[in-house]
Amino acid sequence: MSKRKGGSIKKHLVAHTTLLVVGEGADDKAFITHMKALFCPRGSGHSVKVEAGDGGSAGNIITNVIRTHRNSDFDRRILVLDSDLPPAQAERRKAEQAGYDIILWRPQCLEGALLEVLGERIGAHENSQQLKQRLHPRLADRHTEPAAYAELFPRPVLEKTTNESVCSLRHYLENKKN
């Protein structure tokens, strides 16, 4: 705000957008929160709320998130889900009708996407648990803490990646149109 002659205050209006990002669980929330800190600075006119779903199937997460946030006012809404057990077409349609875009972590899950960001190959034979076992010991803290991802995934690494799911999430956080 700036002061005008005569003591009145002139308000500067800033376009403000809101985004809800819901990941499957605590790991997703931690990593997305880390990305939010890097790509959505305070004062940007873009606020982001990051939440964790209750786990379970993609269908359960979609149903719970829609129910929980049906009266919430967000400009954009995103669900970030694992691709090893993606939502069925009917579940995807239900989410889209409720105003949610869906990003699927590829390959397979968050950990698969992050290993790919680091330039590691993901074998078709590897399951999500094996990918977690590969990534988690390398993190700087517990995998449910945003700080755990800071050392391996600084801004330059996340800006340069070609992993489609991480790039898509970054664009949403930067408030770029997808």
Residue 10 domain-assigned (yes or no): no
State the total domains in the chain: 1
| 57-113 pLDDT tens trace | 999 999 999 999 998 899 999 999 999 999 999 999 999 999 999 999 999 999 999
Q: How far from chain centre, in Å, is Cα 45?
A: 18
> How confident is the model over 109-123, as a mean pLDDT?
97
Tokens of 111: 């950990």
Residue 57 domain-assigned (yes or no): yes
CATH assignment of the domain containing 132: 3.40.50
Residue 160 domain-assigned (yes or no): yes
109 phi/psi in degrees, rounded to 5 = -160, 180
Range of the domain at 153: 16-173
pLDDT at 2 over 50: no
Residue 165 domain-assigned (yes or no): yes
pTM of the model: 0.89
Residue 85 domain-assigned (yes or no): yes
pLDDT in the model for residue 43:
81
Q: Mean pLDDT for the chain?
A: 91
Residue 159 domain-assigned (yes or no): yes
Element (H, E) at 149: none
Residue 22 domain-assigned (yes or no): yes
| 4-30 pLDDT tens trace | 555 555 555 555 899 999 999 999 999
